[in-house]
Amino acid sequence: MNTAVAPVRQLDAHSVDELRQAAEKILAEFGTSATSPALLERVAERAGELSDTLREYCRPVDTADGLFVLRGLPLDDDAVGPTPSSWATAGDSGAVYDIALLLLATVMGNPIAWDGQQDGRFVHNIVPSPGHETEQTGASSTVLLSPHTEDAFHPGRAHLLMLGCMRNHDNIATTAASIRKTRLADADVDLLSQPVLPILPDDAYEAAQGFADQAPPPVPALFATDEGTTLRFDPAYTPLDDADDNYRAAYDRLSDELSRVSVAVSLSPGEILVVDNDLVVHGRVPFQARYDGTDRWLKRASVRVPGRRTRPLAEAGEHGYGQAALEAHAS
Other residues' Cβ atoms within 10 Å of the Cβ of residue 61: 21
- Each residue's pLDDT tens digit, 264-288: 999 999 999 999 999 999 999 999 9
Select 8-206+215-327's CATH number: 3.30.2020.30, 3.30.450.150, 3.60.130.10, 3.40.630.10. 3.60.130.10
Name the residue ranges covered by the structural domains of the chain.
8-206+215-327
- Each residue's pLDDT tens digit, 209-242: 555 556 889 999 999 999 899 999 999 999 999 9
Share of the chain above pLDDT 90, in %: 79
Q: What is the pTM of this model?
A: 0.94
Of 124, 118, 82, 148, nearest to 296 by C-alpha is: 82
State how far the Cα of 73 lies from the Cα of 10, in Å rounded to an integer: 9
Assess contact for 253 and 188: CB atoms under 8 A. Answer: yes
Please report how the helices 95-108 and 13-30 are oriented relative to each other, as an axis angle in degrees rounded to 10. 110
